[in-house]
């Protein structure tokens, strides 16, 4: 499945949450997610140069559950082929990744509230050390035109009173990588 998303920085969720409620979007309670993102040992390409075909893998812990996720970049960091599965033993997956030459590179910790807005998934995220964001994503087939989908997503966010000028084109993992690198 191809995931195309838009991420905007948001100063305050209060007005946005009211607008979403008016449109029938019911948000979940806050969910704590803790991600460990891996890269090939010694590689910085995943963070320094965004390009088609790059692969990033992560283990996400959420409550008493865990999942393994692989994203393969398409046109940009917010456009990926995504594969994920539940994991019974995240420590075993960690050891498998180490044996395959991957190493933990970045941790991202956040509180997320999720909901549906029509055919889109919406997330309101408060990310430790990075701030508050809204993500709007659409799952498409692999051949979707990312520019058309992005425009559709932007239009939906602008209808909520948000501005494309607040777009963040880097994933939380990349933002955290550069924050740590300073």
Q: pLDDT per residue over 104-126, tens digit each?
A: 999 999 999 999 999 999 999 99
Which has the closest alpha carbon to 28: 94, 95, 116, 158?
116
For residue 109, what pLDDT is reported?
A: 98
State whether residue 108 is helix, strand or coil.
strand
How many Å is the maximal CA-CA distance in the chain? Answer: 50
Q: Which CATH architecture has domain 2-181?
A: Beta Barrel (2.40)
State whether residue 54 is helix, strand or coil.
coil
For residue 8, what pLDDT is reported?
A: 98
State whether residue 63 is helix, strand or coil.
coil
Which has the closest alpha carbon to 170: 75, 53, 50, 55?
50
Cβ atoms 73, 79 nearer than 8 A: yes
Q: C-alpha dihedral over 176, 178, 179, 181, to 10 degrees?
A: 120
Domain boundaries, the chain: 2-181
For residue 160, what pLDDT is reported?
A: 95
Q: Is the pLDDT of residue 155 over 90?
A: yes
Going by pLDDT thresholds of 50, 70 and 90, the confidence category of residue 18 is: very high
Distance, in Å, from the CA atom of 39 to the CA atom of 57, rounded to the nearest integer, reads: 7
Cβ neighbours of 59 (radius 10 Å) = 20
Q: Is the pLDDT of residue 153 over 90?
A: yes
For residue 25, what pLDDT is reported?
A: 96
Cβ neighbours of 64 (radius 10 Å) = 5
For residue 113, what pLDDT is reported?
A: 98
Q: Is the pLDDT of residue 71 over 80?
A: yes
Distance, in Å, from the CA atom of 129 to the CA atom of 58, rounded to the nearest integer, reads: 19
């Amino acid at each position: 499945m191809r995931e195309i998303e838009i991420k905007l920085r948001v100063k305050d969720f209060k007005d946005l949450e009211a607008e979403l409620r008016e449109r029938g979007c019911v948000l979940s309670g806050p969910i704590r997610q803790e991600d460990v993102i891996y890269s090939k040992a010694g590689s910085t390409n995943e963070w320094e140069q965004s390009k088609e075909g790059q692969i990033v893998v992560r283990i996400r812990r959420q409550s008493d559950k865990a999942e393994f996720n692989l994203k393969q970049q398409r046109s940009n960091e917010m456009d990926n082929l995504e594969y994920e599965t539940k994991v019974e033993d995240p420590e075993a997956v960690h050891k498998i990744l180490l044996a395959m030459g991957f190493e933990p590179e970045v941790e991202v910790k956040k509180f997320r509230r999720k909901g549906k807005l029509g055919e889109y998934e919406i997330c309101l995220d408060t990310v430790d050390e990075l701030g508050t964001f809204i993500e709007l994503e659409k799952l498409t087939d692999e051949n979707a035109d990312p520019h058309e989908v992005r425009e559709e997503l932007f239009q939906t966010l602008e209808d909520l009173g948000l501005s494309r000028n607040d777009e963040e084109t880097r994933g939380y993992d990349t933002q955290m990588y550069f924050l740590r690198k300073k």
